[in-house]
Amino acid sequence: MLEQCAQSGLRPILGKTVVCNASASPNVVYSGTYSFTISGCPANTCGELDLKRNGNWEFTPGWICTDGSGYATRSWNWSDKANDETGDPIFIRWPDGSTTSETYIIVDKHCAETFRDSASGSPPSNFYGHGTDATWGAGFDFGGTCFCHFWDLTTGALTYQNASVTRIDRYNVSWSCTPPSTVSGHSYQWYACCHDGSCGGCTTSLNFTKP
């Protein structure tokens, strides 16, 4: 995301005087390039990067320098990161102590995973489980969700159902679906899938034939 070039030391984080704008595009990065841009800032001035990366503050003096109009931008590639990373908040502090506004960048490198916790049966009386995503990635706060597939293998009919999802925290959810009615003698395959807004995995298939 941003270069690992931090210096230790205390900085006043609260009570900032915001004098210009900072933005990231996109804020949540699943692929490609992403950038950090400031505008309307002090002209021809270099500022300190104040960044809370994966829960730890870092401060890098002279990290970005504006042009004559107070503009500057820096860009990176998603492929350069090995693991998920969250920078939140991110802002620039100027020599007089004023700052840009805050923004954030989340680089997501791992897909969500899905697990079934309910018991097997013929048919099962319920269908539920949980989903997880790697810490410091997008988690389930940026469009992540879960859904269920109920497939009647005898007729080929497929019932798709959005799961009821309960957020445990950003990286963990529980999910449940209401099983459809089943027919004696028919064979079925059920599974659920969760994604983090970009990609995910599914449970192993639950296969049974109703007596």
CA distance 132 to 168: 10
Written as one letter, the residue type at 60 is T
Structure token digits, residue 145: 């969700």
Q: What is the pLDDT of residue 11?
A: 55
Please state which of the four CATH numbers 2.30.42.10, 2.40.10.10, 1.20.120.80, 2.60.40.1930 is assigned to the domain occupying 18-107: 2.60.40.1930
Give per-residue pLDDT as tens, 39-81. Answer: 999 999 999 999 999 999 999 999 999 999 999 999 999 999 9
Summarize the confidence of residues 106-126 as an average pLDDT: 96
Give per-residue pLDDT as tens, 80-98. Answer: 999 999 999 999 999 999 9
Q: pLDDT-based confidence at 16, cuts 50/70/90?
A: confident
Q: What is the pLDDT of residue 14?
A: 62
Tell me whether domains 18-107 and 113-209 share a fold: yes
Summarize the confidence of residues 90-116 as an average pLDDT: 97
pLDDT reading at 20 higher than 60: yes
pLDDT reading at 195 higher than 60: yes
pLDDT reading at 10 higher than 90: no
Domain 113-209 indexed as CATH 3.90.550.10: no
CA distance 32 to 149: 31
Q: What is the DSSP string of 53-110?
A: ETTEEEEEEEEEE--TTS-EEEEEEGGG-SS-EEEEEEEEE-TTS-EEPPEEEEE--S
What are the structural domain ranges in the chain? 18-107, 113-209
pLDDT reading at 3 higher than 70: no
